[in-house]
A and B are shown apart, each in its own frame.
Chain A
């Protein structure tokens, strides 16, 4: 599972390759814990659907994104 809570349960983590399937669990986590920050430093690849959930939910991001291309081109849209 590339989307999950961290051990303390306060932060949402994206780890490794995040495929389209991650969109729904991420959405559920954001809904369950509004205000929980999202750590995407370990995310190596981000699918558009996942990005869309991040854009819609706008969690506080812990970066930089592990996917350098996303960090360079997409992260600015989430500031």
Chain B
């Protein structure tokens, strides 16, 4: 994977996201030219990049989408839900290809077929106006008055005649008109002189005369069969041209070319060669269909469809002559109830197209060279794209520096205790403080590099909510707040899965059907809010719905059925704590498994995922009014605050976020409950567990003093006192995951280096206390 490919992948993903957002916005808020324009640009840029990294399948697909969008922009088509669906599906397809490309530096073997299918589907949406209407119909007369992208043939014409028309474009004397005139083959017999018509065109700027079909050898040339295509650009008015060509409306197309489009056309590159490839592909596909279908009983339907598809493709490819041949052959085939005639016509058309291709392609390659160089200035992003690995290396280095700094504190202590040089110890401590400050600032600055806005996660959701609410036939609006809130990339990256689950849950279980909402006196359209905010050094993300809320009675019943907790415990729990049981493993409030959220992962996974990165998940709900799930997360997970404790003669690190307080207990406060020690803390019985015992270490000889030291911890709502022999230190450390043989050891969150070079094991209390 080279830099160009990496760049392409990153850029493609951004463009896909942006286009998706804009498409959804168009659907939600209606047509806005600048929005369609942005979507068009995104598709266009994607197509261009796909060309650069040589992914023709992607190019063909995007080209088809681009044409569709151009038609919308020009007002020829309305941005119907079907079109938006298809455009989104196209983006999905492209996103999958980008993934494939990233994985294997190429597209999967079936990409060509997928591209054809997708392009076909997109063209199908375009066809009612673009490919089926006769050329030069009134539609085109009015269509291009706006600054939409001109049809491909116009672009090509402008490009090839640039020299002739540049002066005019620069003078900006008014809009241009482009025409493409393909005289009937028999026109000479009818006494027509096509050039005579063109002589009358006012303000002609450029004329291009070429062959529709490749010239045969002179011996085979029929001098009285017109094989010409005359295309030109003029400053005249559309109506004037229409009047000149009034007797041959079926042979001419007239398109307004706003100056803006003529200039912008510098951006458009070799779309036409894609189009030629597409036409060939469509034809080849029809041939395939017919070859297979010949044994089929119901061949007439297929014949008609194949002939139509091929003819449309050829018209799109500006080969109406071949399209007619195909249609004639289609009729013949239908009456004969045999595909033979159509098949041979397809073969001929394919042969004719192949003959065309080289000339067209090479011409375009030349034309597109400068065009790409002149790609207009996009608002240049001032951001650097840096590989995450490099940043992580920096984070690690800064972490090491902090650890090394801890070593200096250790040195100062030794100076004081062992050497007894207080002055030197104080001086070293001062230096230590300076280095500590600088290292801390540097570490913070580097961590800042890893900070990304939660928008990165939020941005996938509008699409998701749209699709799911459609499937569930619920009306749901997604509102997001605080997208710019930043957090460490590691946190943000891990947010997606829990949020996805929460939003799915809200859509599937939380939000009622429109009828239910109406009868409950609520607005039919429900709202799901995703909000992120910074509270102290924590990131709080909430998913709020205004649905039916969680019924504590149902939760109780379910918890009892599933045996989540003991009956007496359950009876004692207040309602607010009952709904917290939805986070328990094996709990699901909807009996039937739905395809939206019932995939065997429950809310317990949400809580587990969040806790793994040092976060907490909680739920609040009011019956009938809605549910709020709150994820309280650390801003970054690169540095953890730990407490160094001693137990059974060994040192352990314990994450501070699990420890609520440390208590020194006199013997009289400890009571034996069943076969476990416990004590009462603020009217609550807290069991005492010995860390040494938990870690299967020999218990240290009971200290002389009659007190015992415990850390009160709260994990998943359970309060436990953890007995230790001593508390050594509080540190900020960089946790490293266990590696090698220890990688799968349970009970450890990771390791860190102490100031004196020893390795400290940091415990995962949740696992230890289980």
Contacts and interface: CB of A to CB of B under 8 A. Distances in A.
A57 B188 CA distance: 19
Contact of A47 (B195, B218, B221): B195
B195 A77 contact: no
A49 to B, nearest CB: 5
A71 to B, nearest CB: 12
Contacts of B183: 48
Interface string B187-206: 01001111110110000100
Nearest to B218: A31
Interface size class of B (residues with CB under 8 A): 20 to 34
Given A55-B209, A70-B195, 15 more contacts: A20-B188, A27-B218, A27-B221, A30-B218, A31-B218, A47-B193, A48-B226, A51-B195, A52-B228, A53-B223, A55-B210, A55-B215, A73-B204, A74-B209, A77-B207
Q: Which 9 A-B pairs have the closest CB atoms?
A: A23-B223, A56-B215, A73-B207, A48-B195, A77-B209, A48-B194, A49-B188, A27-B223, A31-B218
Interface in B651-704: none
Interface in B165-222: 183, 188, 191-196, 198-199, 204, 207-211, 215-216, 218-219, 221
A38 interface: no
A26 B221 CA distance: 12
Nearest to B197: A48
A26 B209 CA distance: 19
Nearest to B207: A73
B333 to A, nearest CB: 32
Nearest to A47: B193
A6 interface: no
A57 B218 CA distance: 7
A69 B209 CA distance: 14
Contact of A48 (B204, B215, B228): B228
Contacts of A51: 195, 209, 228
22 contacts: A23-B224, A24-B224, A26-B223, A27-B223, A47-B195, A48-B188, A48-B195, A48-B196, A48-B226, A49-B193, A49-B226, A51-B228, A52-B226, A52-B227, A55-B210, A55-B211, A55-B215, A56-B211, A73-B204, A73-B207, A74-B195, A74-B209
From DSSP, what is the main secondary structure of chain A's interface residues?
Answer: helix
A48 B196 CA distance: 8
Interface of B: 183, 188, 191-196, 198-199, 204, 207-211, 215-216, 218-219, 221, 223-224, 226-228
Interface in A1-55: 20, 23-24, 26-27, 30-31, 46-49, 51-53, 55
Most buried by A among B191, B194, B204, B221: B221
Contact of B223 (A46, A49, A69, A70): A49
B614 to A, nearest CB: 73
Contacts of A48: 183, 188, 192-196, 226, 228
Nearest to A53: B223
A68 B488 CA distance: 73
Contacts of B207: 73-74, 77
Contacts of A70: 195
Most buried by B among A27, A46, A69, A73: A73
B45 to A, nearest CB: 34
Nearest to B183: A48
A51 B188 CA distance: 12
Contacts of A47: 193, 195
A31 B86 CA distance: 54
B215 to A, nearest CB: 4
Contacts of B224: 20, 23-24, 49
B272 to A, nearest CB: 18
Contacts of B192: 48
Contacts of B191: 20
A57 B221 CA distance: 9
Nearest to A49: B188
Nearest to B223: A23
A55 B228 contact: yes
B221 A53 contact: yes
A24 B222 CA distance: 9
Most buried by B among A26, A27, A48: A48
Nearest to B232: A73
Nearest to B201: A73
Contacts of B221: 27, 53, 56-57
A30 B217 CA distance: 11
A43 to B, nearest CB: 13
A77 B218 contact: no
A8 to B, nearest CB: 23
A55 B215 CA distance: 9
B138 to A, nearest CB: 27
A32 B209 CA distance: 26
Contacts of B211: 55-56
A2 to B, nearest CB: 15
B330 to A, nearest CB: 29
A23 B222 CA distance: 10
B619 to A, nearest CB: 75
B209 A46 contact: no
A20 B195 CA distance: 12
Contacts of A73: 198, 204, 207
Contacts of A53: 221, 223
A46 B191 CA distance: 14
Given A30-B218, A48-B183, A69 B228 contact: no
Nearest to A20: B188
A18 to B, nearest CB: 11
B223 A77 contact: no
A74 B199 CA distance: 11
A23 B208 CA distance: 20
Contacts of A27: 218, 221, 223
